[in-house]
A and B are shown apart, each in its own frame.
Chain A
Amino acid sequence: MLDIKIGFGVLMFKKINIVVVAAILFVQAIYAQNIDMLLDTLAQKDDMSMHTKKENAGYLTVFTRQDLDRMKVKSLKELIEKIPFIRYNENSTGLSAPYFEPYQANNPARIRIFINDRELLSPLFGGGFQILGQIDMAYIDHIEIYMGVPSYEISIEPTTIVIKAYTKTGKRENTTMMGISGGSYGTSDTYGYTSKDMKDFSYFIYANHRNLKRKKLYHLGSILSRNKESGDFYAQVTMPTSRFEFQAIKGSMDNFLGSSWNMTPKNSYTDFSYLYAGYSYTSLDKSTKASINYSHLLDDYHDSSNAPLGVSLPYYIPYYNTRVKESEHLLDTQITKKLNFGKFSLLLGLRNRYKKFINDSHTRDGVEVPLNSNYNSEDITSLFSEIDYLLDEHNRLVFSTSAERYFENANIKDKTIYGARLGHIYSTDNFTQKTLLFYGEFRPTPYELLVNDLLQPGLDNLDSEKAYSISTKSIWRYKNTTNSLLLARTVMNKSIYFDLSNFKNAKDEFAFDSVSFKSNYMLNDLDKIEFNFWVMFEDYGKNSTDRYDNKYGGYLTLFKKFGKIDTYNSITYRDGYDNIPPAWNYDLTLNYTYSRHLSFFLKGENLLKDAIKTDYYRVNPLSYQVTTLNNTPVFDRTVWFGLEYEF
């Protein structure tokens, strides 16, 4: 009897053991099956943007590392099409300039670009987008786009759109990579980086060579080329509270239309170089930040044509060759301190930005032309504050003010401009409402001030543009869907324009009413569909001959992974631009992961060949004869093929 009992006990023990072992194996199997998905999900949820983005600082759109990798973004210009209310455009030298209008100056106040926390800009001409629009992006981790007059934590000088590109870091890369790709028209792109998270610091070192060949156009017997060749080196060393950065870009680009009266360049190109060194400090609790950044930009513009490029005053003698060398320096220092008092926080900041722009040489037909202006520097001291008050668990108020003193030299008078911004944010788990009121002034760029000083020495009557804006955005989330609706009204006073004699302030008020709807549907943790449609109603004032204008745009994108193949499909729409037909830009990217170390991609841009176009024109200043170049594509139909190898 006892034997039977013992035997039964042993049997039971064995059964229990089998059940326990089976249970353990089952648990292991579940963990094993899900580990890939867990890592994929963590990559999304703990993307670096989660640590850098500032939800309360404006209306935010983020392109995560995963997005950029899946899109295989080759240059920043591709992302412009995803921003509501603007279109991608290129100026007459073939540089990226979304707000380009013939003869009008580039307006940096509209769109500012930062790499990490450093603003990329040309001290003389303004906007950094021209510098970065078509160069390599392989060292960028993710991009945040802030709209609706972002907070001073994002940009001190007033602006409507801020693009913040954050570089990859040693801590998150820990690898050595190489990428090679080739594209239509003979384009080639090669990059490599090495990075590591060491014991007490991390480093990231990157180099790129890009030979960007664009489709050539033919006009009145001249070849119009937008080819660009550049080499880019970037290095970063990061410690717990410090970051050192260095960047050097050197290249040469064809000047597309050049500056001849009838757009017939013969030999027109620009050699350029950009050097940057910077240090930034962030305390461990992130309450104190300080940075010092220095950059140097050198342009050497060469142009020649069989048609005149211009006339030398006072005898109106035409010239056919010109060379202009400009060097620009920018020294930026900034310190901010955030004080927290429970529900109330106060950000105080002080910044100094010193700009120096020197005309090293200006020749016409080989003869040095003296510049009739000594204006060559601008020093801006900015003081700003931001109060953030948490009214209750759902409501937050943000109030910001700024004062900027512009110390000019030579004939240009010093000016002080002011700005203010009031924001209210209501948020629950599934709903967020952001409302912003803004008043700000946009100081003319040194280029605009310099041109006016050259044309009318000592007059200095160009005033700051003034802007008022009210906007609200509702965001609601339901299961896997996030929808948002943005409504905005902006009124501009004293807008600056060029009337072929000098820069002037417009007498009329311009008003823009904008609506944008966006929907994001997550198919699973990785795959998603995004849809956006926007419309902008423009009123150029009662004195305008073409007072009202409406513009439309949007996009539909699909990110979808099929086993080892990752796909990105996107179609972008733009309409309502003067004389430009409705535009559809279809992009497709296929990524194939062959192994852990090797992957391939195939990327097509503007595959329908129907992306947005632009019109160019030139006026002969003597005869007033107009030469046009209409419906010029700013996106070529391009196919890229490449591979990435991880060592």
Chain B
Amino acid sequence: MKIFLLSFMVVSSLFSSNVKKLEAQILSSIAHSLVHKKSVNICIDDRNFKGIGKYAKSLNVVSCGRADIVFTSKDNDINKKCKTHLIFSTSYYLYEHSPMIVGAFFWQKGRPNIIFRQKQLKHLSIALPKNFQKYID
């Protein structure tokens, strides 16, 4: 039933005009491609994605220490505090300048884009689903 609800949620979101919902679905997809859990704990440190947790039911927004994955745009303390966690950037600049970061969700050529760093995926022994592999840098 949950799976049905989840799949329904994904499909129904495609027809939604709500940008926040779409962004939440994308973050959810990224989180589930990296963390093989039904419900993923995430920490978000980017004010552009503030309050996004309520749109993604399969994500729990938690503090940095409890997160399975951290979404951040800032190269600040959160990266240092959470350095043992999976860190995914919402800024291409940060992704380019922080080799520890596994990937980035950002705008490129006027459209949203996702990129994963192969070296870091290997280091963390993460195998991405087939359809995500074209986003590996």
A contacts, CB < 8 Å to B: 20, 23-24, 26-43, 45-46, 48, 50, 65-66, 69, 141, 168, 171-175, 177, 196-199, 525, 596, 646
Contact = CB atoms under 8 A, between A and B. Distances in A.
Given A31-B10, A34-B10, A34-B29, A20 B38 contact: yes
Given A30-B10, A34-B10, A24 B36 contact: yes
B111 A39 contact: yes
B22 interface: yes
B49 interface: no
B10 A43 contact: no
Given A32-B132, A38-B26, 14 more contacts: A20-B38, A30-B7, A31-B28, A35-B33, A38-B14, A39-B26, A39-B112, A42-B22, A50-B19, A173-B107, A173-B108, A173-B109, A175-B109, A596-B134
A382 to B, nearest CB: 34
B93 to A, nearest CB: 6
B114 interface: yes
A174 B10 CA distance: 28
A69 B110 CA distance: 10
Interface in B5-34: 6-7, 10-11, 13-15, 17-19, 22-23, 25-26, 28-29, 32-33
Contact of A32 (B18, B23, B25, B131): B131
A620 to B, nearest CB: 53
Nearest to A20: B38
A65 B110 contact: yes
Given A28-B32, A29-B129, A35 B110 contact: no
16 contacts: A23-B3, A23-B38, A24-B38, A27-B32, A32-B129, A32-B130, A32-B132, A38-B13, A38-B22, A42-B22, A45-B22, A46-B22, A172-B110, A174-B109, A175-B108, A596-B134
A386 to B, nearest CB: 27
B19 A45 contact: yes
B3 A43 contact: no
Given A172-B107, A196-B93, A34 B112 contact: no
Interface string B105-137: 011111111100000000000000111101000
Given A24-B38, A28-B36, A197-B106, A45 B91 contact: no
Contacts of A141: 110
A251 B114 CA distance: 40
Interface of B: 2-3, 6-7, 10-11, 13-15, 17-19, 22-23, 25-26, 28-29, 32-33, 36-38, 58, 75, 91-93, 106-114, 129-132, 134
A23 B25 contact: no
Contacts of B36: 24, 28
Nearest to A200: B93
A20 B2 CA distance: 11
B113 A39 contact: yes
Contacts, number: 118
A33 B33 CA distance: 11
A35 B131 contact: yes
Contact of A27 (B6, B11, B13): B6
A24 to B, nearest CB: 6
- In the A-B complex, the 5 residue pairs with the smallest Cβ-Cβ separation, listed nearest first, are A31-B29, A32-B131, A32-B129, A43-B111, A65-B110
A196 B106 CA distance: 11
Which of B93, B111, B113 has the largest number of chain A CB atoms within 10 A? Answer: B111
B51 to A, nearest CB: 16
A34 to B, nearest CB: 5
A241 to B, nearest CB: 15
Contacts of A45: 17-19, 22
B88 to A, nearest CB: 14
B3 A27 contact: yes
A46 B3 CA distance: 28
Nearest to A64: B110
A198 B131 CA distance: 30
Contacts of B114: 35, 39
Nearest to A37: B14
B91 A197 contact: yes
A478 to B, nearest CB: 14
B93 A35 contact: no
A36 B11 CA distance: 13
Contact of A43 (B28, B32, B37, B112): B112
A23 B6 CA distance: 10
B25 A38 contact: yes
Contacts of A37: 14
| Candidate in B17, B58, B131 with the most chain A CB atoms within 10 angstroms | B131
A197 B92 contact: yes
Nearest to A595: B134
B33 A46 contact: no
Contacts of A66: 111
B112 to A, nearest CB: 5
A48 B134 CA distance: 26
A26 B107 contact: no
Contacts of B2: 23
Contacts of B58: 27
A174 B107 contact: yes
Nearest to A34: B10
A199 B93 CA distance: 7
Contacts of B132: 32, 35
Contacts of B28: 31
Given A23-B38, A43-B112, A46-B22, A32 B14 contact: no
A327 to B, nearest CB: 36
Contact of A168 (B7, B19, B110): B110
A598 to B, nearest CB: 13
A69 B109 CA distance: 10
Contacts of A20: 38
B38 A28 contact: no
Nearest to B11: A34
A42 B110 contact: no
B11 to A, nearest CB: 8
A38 B29 contact: yes
A597 to B, nearest CB: 10
A32 B132 CA distance: 6
- Residue of B2, B93, B130 most packed against chain A (CB within 10 A): B93
B108 A42 contact: no
Contacts of A48: 110
